[in-house]
Structure 1
């Protein structure tokens, strides 16, 4: 768990630019989604971050989270799928899948606040929770799969608690 409630970029340095990706938008209201996708595909998830000011930012799926965040720390990051139901936008799926920020599933409250602020219905929790751990032996970023807390690179044991450097 990240006690500070914010995440810094922990991915490859060469991706850490601050130019926003093509099609990136700050979702100031659900009406922004009526104009989506600006460079994206409406049938696939979007990359999202919750910025430190609590705003939801989205970009086409293959965009880098760090670029969407302008190289800054975030409150949450992942992927999200929007659908239209009864004339309203809703969030059908949302994950914390971001290997650049490796956010703990405990970042959900920041996502919920951003979506609630926009009046968007949502699942109430991540539909898929990703568990990230940093290997204390080799430093590799890992996704824990099926409860196997073993480093994919060096086979060392991964810690049970979130352990990336704090923002």
Structure 2
């Protein structure tokens, strides 16, 4: 299986704010997750977190209001999105998860890579994205689109969008 690397395709001004060495917190075990969550306040624990799967396959987390590109340290990723945790029977489990990242616009086909990163970290999770997001770039105006209700038309110029992922023109 070929694994796609997703480059940052969001606003250049956000990329310029990324500070080397300040990427998201790497999660390699349930203990890593507990250590990171211990530093979060109650309000943060009630909302989803930003995540990426870096090129080594490591799950990295950051607060929700963090940019995915900052969580990734500006680097390409294997997957990205948002996830939330619930505390159940003495452990944290992934409750909801999506590929929602307008900076990387990862395809829904990233689920196996995300699943593998969660498995390596020893985290219980759903069997698929609970909120999959379909991204496409318009071939006419080059805008990034979120496809809703299987309507493959550009929200900006109404051009028909491709049915296969095409967000990074260099890919």
Q: Same fold (TM over 0.5)?
A: yes
The answer to whether residue 158 in structure 2 is matched with residue 159 in structure 1 is: no
2: CA distance between counterparts of 1:19 and 1:124? Answer: 34
Aligned residue in 2 for 1:81: 84
| 2:11 paired residue number | 12
Is contact 1:49–1:57 with CA below 8 Å preserved after alignment?
A: yes
Gap runs ≥5 in structure 2: none
List per-residue Cα deviations over 1:72-100 (Å, max 9, x = no partner). 10000000001111112210000000000
Instruction: Indicate the SS of the match to 2:78.
Output: strand
Cα separation, partners in 2 of 1:37 and 1:46, compared to 1, 3 Å: farther
Q: Quote the residue 2:114 is aligned against.
A: 111
Matches within 5 A, 1:50-65: 50-65=53-68
**Alignment size in residue pairs:** 165
TM-score (norm 2): 0.89
Per mean C-alpha deviation after superposition, the further-off stretch among 22-31 and 83-92 is: 22-31
Question: Residues 108, 20 of structure 1: CA spacing in aligned structure 2 closer, same or farther, 3 A cutoff?
Answer: farther
SS at match of 2:117: helix
What secondary structure sits across from 2:45 in the alignment? coil
For 1:27, the equivalent position in structure 2 comes to 27
The CA deviation at 1:30 is: 1.2
TM-score where L is the length of structure 1 = 0.91
Distance in 2 between residues matched to 1:20 and 1:29, nearest whole Å = 24
**Does the 8 Å CA contact 1:103/1:132 hold for their aligned counterparts?**
yes
Q: Distance in 1 between matches of 2:38 and 2:22?
A: 11
Task: Tell me how far 1:20 sits from its aligned partner.
Answer: 6.8
Please state how far the C-alpha of 1:109 moved relative to its aligned partner: 0.7
Q: What is the root-mean-square deviation in Å for CA atoms of aligned residues?
A: 2.0
The verdict on how the C-alpha distance between 1:37 and 1:21 changes in structure 2, with shifts beyond 3 A counting, is: farther
Deviation (angstroms), 1:59: 0.5
